[in-house]
Amino acid sequence: MYSAILSAYFAVHLLLGHCRGDLTIQVPEVPVVAIFGKDVTLNCSFSTNLNFSLGDLSVIWQLTETRQMVHKYSLRQDQQADSFVNRTALFPDELAKGNASLLLRHVRIEDEGSFTCFVRIEEHLSAPIKLQLAGMAP
C-alpha cells in the first residue's frame, strides 16, 4: 500500500511538470482526442540542466496499464513493439531540443487508453497521457 501511495504522489508531481533533480517532463493534463484511422501526436517534452548527447538519452513509450512497450529510443536507435511496427515514430531532429513526443499513425480502437512517456538521461522520469477516440473517419 505504501508503494501505491508513493507512486501516486510521484505521478501527480510528474503530471504537473515538477522537477526531480535536473530533469523535468511535461505531458498534456487533458486527454488527447484522436480520430479513428487518422494520425495523432502524443506530446511529451522534457528539460534538463544537463548537457547531454543523444547517445545518453533513452525515451520509452509504453501502455500504462499493461506496461507493454510501444516505442523505444536508446543508443540512438528506434525499436517498436510488433503491434506498433510502422505505426509509431519519434521526431529525431527534435529530441535534442527536449521533444520526446510520439507520432501514432492510423489510430485503432485498441489504441485508446493511457500511454506513459519515460525519459532518461542520468535519471529517469515518466508521465502518463490519456488517448481517447472521437469517432470514425469517412
Quote the cell numbers at residue 54: 543523444
**pLDDT at res. 11:** 40
Q: What is the pLDDT of the chain when averaged over all its residues?
A: 83
The C-alpha atoms of residue 84 and residue 72 are separated, in whole angstroms, by 11
Sign of CA dihedral 21, 24, 30, 33: negative
128, 27 Cβ separation under 8 angstroms: yes
Instruction: Output 88 or 18, whichever has higher pLDDT.
Output: 88
Q: What are the pLDDT digits (tens) for 59-112? A: 999 999 999 999 999 999 999 999 999 999 999 999 999 999 999 999 999 999
Q: Where are the domains of the chain?
A: 2-136
Backbone angles phi, psi at 49, to 5 degrees: -85, -10
pLDDT per position as a tens digit, 22-41: 789 999 999 999 999 999 99
What is the spatial distance between Cα 108 and Cα 110, in angstroms, rounded to a whole number? 5
What pLDDT, on a 0 to 100 scale, did the predictor assign at position 136? 65
pLDDT, tens digit (0-9, with 9 covering 90-100), for 113-138 = 999 999 998 776 678 889 998 876 55
Per CATH, which fold does 2-136 belong to? Immunoglobulin-like (2.60.40)
20: DSSP letter: B
For residues 123 and 20, the answer to whether their CB atoms sit within 8 Å is yes
